[in-house]
Amino acid sequence: MEARVVAALDRGEDRETVRGLVGSGVPGLPESVRLKLWSVLLGPQPPPARRRESPPPQEVVDSRTLEADVRRTRQGEELFRSEIGRERLRSLLVTVCERRGVAYVQGLNEIAAPVAALWDGRDPLGHAVFSGLVGRVWGLYAQDSLLHASRLYGSLVAYHDPGLASRLCDAGLSPAVYATPWLVTLMTRPAATTELAHRVLDVVLASDAATVFFLGLAVLRSRRRAFVDEPVSDAPRALASLTLDAPDHFAAVVGEARALARATPESLKEALRKAARGAGDGSFDRLLELTRSENTTKTTKSSSLSSPNSLSEPERKFWLPAVVVSATELADSLGTGLCFKVIDVAAFSGSRLATGRLDDAISPPPTAADHHPRQTERLAAWATARICGDATLQGRHLLVVANDETRFLRGDALSEIFLPRPLRRRLLLPADDLDDTLVDPVAHQVASSLRTTGVPRVSTLERGGFEKFVELLVSKNRHLRAKLPAFDPKAWHLYLKRRRRVEYKEDHQGPLAAANRAWRQLSTQLVPGACLWADQQQQQQQQQPGRSDHQQPGRALVSGAYQQSGHQPGRADPQAYPFPQFL
Amino acid sequence: MTSSSRPFDLQIKLLMIGDSAVGKTSLLLRYANDTFSSTFITTIGIDFKIKTIDLDGKRVKLQIWDTAGQEQFRTITRSYFRGAQGIVLVYDITDRGTFNSVRSWMAQINDHADAQVNRVLIGNKADFETARQVSTEEGQRLADEYGVKFFETSAKNDVNVTECFTTIAREAKARIPTDPNNNRQGQRLNSGRASGSKPGCCK
């Protein structure tokens, strides 16, 4: 493999070809070609955007910190204890800062070291490669990028290993503690030797940007027992000693990282790719920010010692953002990709009846989803009991879907649903602030509750994603459209559009009923199939006594729980169904 | 670190701040591990150590957070200000710039830490007398201005290191209510876990 890489570099093959050859690493690659390899993998570098006005010279270099860092970079190695190695580091760091017109930031020294070890101190290729590496991490130093990336890191760990995530949380190790040094150094920081750092960079540069996250997660999991089996108080030490210390360990970590990447929803990977380059979307962050500022106000009013951090541990775990899957990914997953098992906790109400349900989804009995003051808690309790007790669901990717009706509630009602109990009534979220939030609050709370009980691989569908999903099935899937000659996707599309704009009220009768009927015909042909529920008119028919189930085609498609209940959707008596007693 | 698994009566969270390369990590390692090496690695972001000590008859678990000094990490480190019960602000006596930054650090504490947080001012690298740029009197004057205790320390020669941590721990302890029902540990007993305030993963 190494020889093929060398030959490809000699032939001047393009970036993609070389990336494919490097794959999981090229341990035996001659050091003389590694810089060239990295420069090919990094691709052509655009000239760095220089800051317009030249900052004062001392700010450009911050020579004091830079010099201190040069003297504490990889001091375990002969090269960096010698003046030759230090001079190379200095030269790389000063040049990159001057060319970009920026001040030195800590962490760059760690990625300069592997370059310096391969560099003769003169070849311009060294500067070019280092500049390319800096370009990969530079965005992370921007405002809030690291915080955003850390939160996503936390969500990723919790997605694959909720037990480990919760243990780290118990130990006080927030994702920022490990995410920051790992991300800004492209995972070279944990590499015990420069040689291993070289191999880390081979893999990181040959794979997509999210790989840095997966390598870190794989390293954490490779020493999982040190966190889970040892006392919590030893966890900081375990984290500090978390290194890639041997070629075998590294190879195992790379294999595990690839497996984890395959088992991760594409939507999350896309978010990770952006975050690895420092671009955050910030919508969930903003929400947390609101919560926090509310909390801060509270803190200054009362005794600071009793409420410095007023969320208890389970609540803090709860506040790790749940992984959000896009409607597009769910639609695609029907054919390829991850196979999601949908947990549909949408309320039995007008707008959702019109949109339909996936017929193999797991749905709660109507009382759990009813408009009850503690609706979300009851849903979460139902989901936990249902999922934990079902062995066939082990290892499946679970996707919690709710409906988007919360947006129609007033701000105070929204905060009532959205916040963990101690925070309720302290925060009044204006509904407008949630409009561009991707997270569906009800789905998020159900997913978090599942995660807290240790269920892995739980994600939520993006806010309002179910309508979008149905729409995608109709408009994008030619196969389905061919089966439906009488159906007009445009009319359906308009219908959905209108549904999303109007206030929540029962207004979809008349011309739209035709579209609904067409959908009902279609529903049985879909695999697994989005089945249209009866429209509002039909719901009213159901409420009339004396009509039996077989007269209502829509009804047969409802989940078993509902069929057994015999109750009217949205009107069930909350006392009539057993609920877990721990609520 | 077997001592850390023994039970403790109280947990105190301390935070170390100050410009980069003033010796925060050196001080912490000297105190927590009793070692000094001139080859520490750069703190990127945030890190912490735990040390359990006996303080006036109580077993106190100190959770000491070490932060990166540079501005770029401020969004990460700032979230650890809140909830800290004591803050150790460090400057380097051989670098006037780091001393001049003390005021802006104090302002950061005002903005982001709890109102009653205990503080202590440290002038580190006192072993390097020939390169001194900030006199002891100046340090003391500034500390007096803010009403905090002042120490000149040497992580290298282990001068005043234990004293400064013990002082800040004692001050914080005096402020923390001794009634177990009043502090968070007491509240946690029913969850089967004795743990004090911790930084949240997800704040």
Q: Do A64 and B97 contact (CB within 8 A), yes or no?
A: yes
Q: What per-residue confidence (pLDDT) applies to A473?
A: 65
Domain assignment of residue B88, yes or no:
yes
Domain assignment of residue B159, yes or no:
yes
Q: Give the DSSP H/E element, type plus range, for residue A470.
A: helix A465-476
Q: What per-residue confidence (pLDDT) applies to A323?
A: 86
Give the closest of B116, B183, B198 to A309, CB-based: B198
A11 touches chain B (CB under 8 A): no
Higher pLDDT, A542 or B21: B21
Q: Which pLDDT tens digits describe chain A residue by residue (583 residues)? A: 788 899 999 998 888 999 988 887 888 888 889 999 999 999 887 665 555 455 444 454 568 889 999 999 999 999 999 999 999 999 999 999 888 888 899 999 999 999 999 999 999 999 999 999 999 998 898 877 888 888 889 989 999 999 999 888 888 788 889 999 999 999 999 999 999 999 999 999 999 999 999 999 999 999 999 999 988 878 888 888 889 989 999 999 999 999 999 999 999 999 899 899 886 544 444 444 444 443 433 333 322 222 223 344 444 444 566 788 888 888 777 656 678 888 887 754 444 444 455 656 787 765 554 555 556 777 788 888 889 888 888 888 999 887 654 433 333 333 333 334 433 322 223 333 343 445 666 787 788 888 888 899 999 888 767 767 766 766 665 454 443 333 344 444 454 445 443 222 333 444 445 445 444 444 433 322 333 332 333 444 445 444 333 333 322 222 222 222 233 333 333 332 222 222 1
CATH code of the domain in which B125 resides: 3.40.50.300
Domain assignment of residue B28, yes or no:
yes
Q: What per-residue confidence (pLDDT) applies to B191?
A: 35
**CA–CA separation, A233 vs B187, rounded Å?**
20
3-state SS string for A53-105 = CCCCHHHHHCHHHHHHHHCCCCCCCHHHHCHHHHHHHHHHHHHHHHHHCCCCC
The pLDDT of B68-97, averaged and rounded, is 90
Domain assignment of residue B198, yes or no:
no
pLDDT band, very low/low/confident/very high, at B159 (cuts 50, 70, 90): very high
A189 touches chain B (CB under 8 A): yes
Identify all chain A residues contacting B182, using CB atoms and an 8 Å cutoff.
Answer: 306
**CA–CA separation, A359 vs B92, rounded Å?**
67
Nearest chain B Cα distance for residue A286, angstroms: 11
Please choose, from the candidates A146, A437, A295, the residue with its C-alpha nearest in 3D space to the C-alpha of residue B114. A295
Domain assignment of residue B149, yes or no:
yes
**For residue A190, what are the CA distances in angstroms to A73, A115, A193, A481?**
13, 16, 9, 52
Q: Which of A9-23, A76-90, B35-49, B68-82 has the highest mean pLDDT?
A: A76-90
The pLDDT of B114-131, averaged and rounded, is 94
Please name the residue of chain B whose CA is at the shortest distance from the CA of residue A294: B203
At what angle are helices A194-206 and A211-222 packed, to 10 degrees? 130
Q: What per-residue confidence (pLDDT) applies to A366?
A: 57
- The whole domain housing B49 covers 10-185
Identify all chain B residues contacting A309, using CB atoms and an 8 Å cutoff.
Answer: 82-83, 197-200, 203
Higher pLDDT, A361 or B11: B11
Higher pLDDT, A463 or B137: B137
Would you call A302 helix, strand, or coil by DSSP?
Answer: coil
Q: Do residue A296 and residue B83 have CB atoms under 8 angstroms apart? A: no
Q: Do B119 and B87 contact (CB within 8 A), yes or no?
A: yes
Domain assignment of residue B44, yes or no:
yes
**φ, ψ at A191 (rounded to 5°):** -70, 125
Please name the residue of chain B whose CA is at the shortest distance from the CA of residue A240: B47
Nearest chain A Cα distance for residue B85, angstroms: 8
Identify all chain A residues contacting B45, using CB atoms and an 8 Å cutoff.
Answer: 146, 176-177, 179-181, 184
Amino acid at A42: L
**CA–CA separation, B168 vs B120, rounded Å?**
7
**CA–CA separation, A443 vs A62, rounded Å?**
48
Please name the residue of chain A whose CA is at the shortest distance from the CA of residue B40: A72
Q: Please tell me the pTM assigned to this model.
A: 0.78
pLDDT at B19 over 80: yes
Domain assignment of residue B19, yes or no:
yes
pLDDT in tens, B165-180: 999 999 999 988 754 4
Residues 57-96 of B with CB under 8 A from A: 61, 63, 68-70, 72-73, 75-76, 79, 82-85, 95
Would you call B73 helix, strand, or coil by DSSP?
Answer: helix
Give the closest of B4, B97, B184 to A233, CB-based: B4
**CA–CA separation, A69 vs A66, rounded Å?**
5
Q: Do A233 and A170 contact (CB within 8 A), yes or no?
A: no
Identify all chain B residues contacting A106, using CB atoms and an 8 Å cutoff.
Answer: 20, 42-44, 68, 70, 72-73
Enumerate the β-bridge partners of residue A324.
Answer: A460
Please name the residue of chain B whose CA is at the shortest distance from the CA of residue A311: B200
Higher pLDDT, B74 or B203: B74
Q: Residue B178 has what DSSP assignment?
A: -
The total number of structural domains in chain B stands at: 1
Q: Do residue B85 and residue A168 have CB atoms under 8 angstroms apart? A: no
Nearest chain B Cα distance for residue A13, angstroms: 37
Q: What per-residue confidence (pLDDT) applies to B7?
A: 76
Domain assignment of residue B112, yes or no:
yes
pLDDT in tens, B83-116: 899 999 999 999 999 999 999 999 999 999 989 9
**CA–CA separation, A307 vs A435, rounded Å?**
31
A73 touches chain B (CB under 8 A): yes
Name the one residue in this structure whose structure tokens are 């999991």: A221
B181 touches chain A (CB under 8 A): no
The pLDDT of B111-135, averaged and rounded, is 94
A75 touches chain B (CB under 8 A): yes
3-state SS string for A363-390 = CCCCCCCCCCCCHHHHHHHHHHHHHHCC
**CA–CA separation, A86 vs A128, rounded Å?**
19
Nearest chain A Cα distance for residue B142, angstroms: 24
**CA–CA separation, A250 vs A245, rounded Å?**
7
Q: Do residue B195 and residue A313 have CB atoms under 8 angstroms apart? A: yes
Identify all chain B residues contacting A316, using CB atoms and an 8 Å cutoff.
Answer: 200-203
